[in-house]
Amino acid sequence: MFINMLNTIYNIEYKYKYIGETLRPPCEIVVKTYLPQIRARIAKRLIEEYNWKPSEVARVLSMSSTAVLKYKRILNMETGLNRDFLENISDKLCEIIISSKNIDPEIFIKNICLNCMYARINGTICSIHRKTYPYLSSCTVCSQIFSKISGLSVEMSQVIYSLKEALKIVKGIKYFYKLIPEVRTNIVMALKNAKNISEVAGFPGRITVIRNNIYAYHEPEFGASKHLASILLKIREKNRNILSCTCIKYMPNIEKVLMKSGFKIHYMDRNNFSNIEEFIDGLKEFRENDVIIDLGGKGIEPVVYIFGLNAIDLAKRLSIISRYQHVK
């Protein structure tokens, strides 16, 4: 029993020692050395070459004057970071400070973060990280992450662009405001491999009607919609080609309009299903031209869910429906 207890203690100590070693990302080097070295070099140049007061430097760099005055000590520290690399960044930022009346913080962040990324992909930060923790000598995590993000970033931008264009289209549809439900609506679009709500973009605060005009309170964002995003993700379990979704008001004669527009209708009766996700689970298939009519219930407004291959395609479908629907 005593030996088993010792083994248990050893395993726990080994486990936590191992976890402690794994929680050493390159971000630590960035915070402890990279950023202080950049700030110190900027402070040195502004004070020694341009005769700035420490208080002026502190204001520009959002630091205390006391922290600014530590620049000499920081520059004397051995960090292992490539000096030319640091000088190039700080020189560029100093030039921006000197030549600009109104300094844009985003320019600073962009320069610092972009160079940090480069330095983490087989650069000086990557080199120090590997030397500091030998068990990471073959680590390629940063390269993998940035490679994935770069491709994902393009797709995310395309989704946001499609949503903005879709909004422009529906704003131009005559009388479309009459198809907006009382609960208001949204237009959502998912990434191709979306698995959760955070990977579906929509308009925060929904799309509404103000003086007979279609209006969105904010620019589209990922994770902005819960209800429609959940429905879209559930539909995509049936058809991966569908990437966009919205809902419109259920009106008299809407079935004829939908069928005339080329849509197949699935009716959801809330007496048989507690929610729309449960209803979708029961569908054998769902094609691109299928729609769902939620007949509503007590306190629940009946609506029609329309789907599309993307947000622009969806907006064009709404245009067709509006053209056939007599909503004048």
The tens-digit pLDDT sequence of the chain (328 residues) is 545 544 554 454 544 444 556 678 999 999 999 999 999 999 999 999 999 999 999 999 999 999 999 999 999 999 989 888 899 899 999 999 998 877 888 888 999 998 898 888 878 898 899 888 888 888 888 888 888 787 778 899 999 999 999 999 999 998 899 999 999 999 999 999 999 999 999 999 899 999 999 999 999 999 988 999 999 999 999 999 999 999 999 988 899 999 988 999 999 988 888 889 999 999 999 999 999 999 988 889 999 999 999 999 999 999 999 887 654 4
pLDDT at position 9, please? 44
For residue 204, the SS3 value is: coil
Sign of torsion over alpha carbons 159, 224, 269, 237? positive
Beta bridge partners of 102: none
- Cα 310 to the chain's mean position, in Å? 18
Rg (CA), the chain: 29
- Can you give the pTM of this predicted structure? 0.67
Angle at the Cα of 264 from the Cα atoms of 260 and 268, rounded to 5 degrees: 125
- For 156-324, CATH number out of 2.40.50.140, 3.40.190.290, 3.40.225.10, 3.40.30.10 equals 3.40.225.10
| Domain residue ranges in the chain | 2-139, 156-324
DSSP one-letter string for 205-222: T-EEEETTEEEESS--EE
The DSSP letter of residue 123 is S
**Residue 61 to residues 105, 133, 320, Cα–Cα distance (Å):** 10, 32, 55
**Angle, to 10 degrees, between the axis of helix 105-120 and the axis of helix 124-132?**
50
Q: What are the tokens at 151?
A: 């491709």
d(CA 38, CA 211): 53
79, amino acid identity: T
Cα first-last separation, the chain: 85
305, amino acid identity: Y
